[in-house]
Amino acid sequence: MEKHNWLEDILALIIGSIMVSLGLFFFKDTQLLTGGTAGLALLSNQFIALSFGQIFLLINLPFFILGFAKMGAGFTLRTVACVALVSLMTDYLHLVISLSELNRAYAALSGGFLIGTGMLILIRHKGSLGGVNILALYLQQTFNIRAGHVQMALDVLIVATSYFLVPLSILLWSIVGAIALNIVIALNHKSGRYQGLS
């Protein structure tokens, strides 16, 4: 199968990061949470005097080491770039987008679909958002366990642990968002499915 060239990879990583940051912006605006390190950053952002992007970058630092050891330098460099882009864009999207009202149900579904699609683009171009995503991809490559299933299980677990920290309505819509995100990955990222396709 023909590999993507460097320009295609750069464009895809930018597009994927934009989609993820817009989905996270929807979640942040409606106080929803998600799984993975992004979810931990959104939750921590409510209690720590640092921006989402700063927290997201800090949480991911140890996972960059894991990514380098298990997935290689190229994957890790792409992941660092994606995490940095998502951190910056999510923090500063308010400068270009102003929302007077955003329905929480719509934010959960569309935000989840945007993040999932963005992550899928990153995965197809050998990048990720770090954290749980690195673990899910490693398990798929090594043990052929679907990345989407691993991601969904861990994401729902992370969101569910927020039970004592956020109102029940926010928790329930956050779970809907996490499921929407992972449905995109589970349906579209199956090992070997796209080999040989142009």
Tell me, yes or no, whether 195 lies in a domain. no
Rounded Cα distance between 67 and 83, Å, is 13
Q: What is the pLDDT of residue 184?
A: 92
The better pLDDT of the pair 62, 22 is held by 22
- pTM to 2 decimals? 0.85
Query: Sorting pLDDT into bands at 50, 70 and 90, what band is 176?
Result: very high
Over pLDDT 70: what percentage of the chain? 94
Please say if the pLDDT value at position 191 is more than 60.
no
Tell me, yes or no, whether 196 lies in a domain. no
Tokens linked to 71: 């997935």
Q: Which of 15-19, 34-38, 55-59, 111-115 is predicted least confidently?
A: 34-38
Tell me, yes or no, whether 197 lies in a domain. no
Residue range 152-178: mean pLDDT, rounded: 84
Enclosing domain of residue 63:
6-188
Tokens linked to 82: 């994606």
Query: Sorting pLDDT into bands at 50, 70 and 90, what band is 179?
Result: confident
Tell me, yes or no, whether 48 lies in a domain. yes
Structural domain count of the chain: 1
Query: Sorting pLDDT into bands at 50, 70 and 90, what band is 138?
Result: confident
Tell me, yes or no, whether 38 lies in a domain. yes
Q: What is the pLDDT of residue 198?
A: 32
Tell me, yes or no, whether 193 lies in a domain. no
Tell me, yes or no, whether 1 lies in a domain. no
Give the rounded distance of the alpha carbon of 182 from its chain centre: 10
Please say if the pLDDT value at position 36 is more than 80.
yes
Please say if the pLDDT value at position 52 is more than 90.
yes
Q: Please report which helix (H) or strand (E) contains residue 56, including its range.
A: helix 52-71
Q: What is the pLDDT of residue 1?
A: 56
Please say if the pLDDT value at position 195 is more than 70.
no
Distances (CA, A) of 100 to 23, 122, 185: 17, 31, 31
Tokens linked to 163: 């039970």
How many residues are there in the chain?
198
Give the best-scoring range by mean pLDDT among 23-32, 132-141, 180-189. 23-32
Q: Which of 38-47, 87-96, 98-107, 140-149 is predicted least confidently?
A: 140-149
Residue 33: partners with Cβ closer than 8 Å, 6 or more residues away: 27, 39, 42, 43, 159, 162, 166, 170, 171, 174, 177
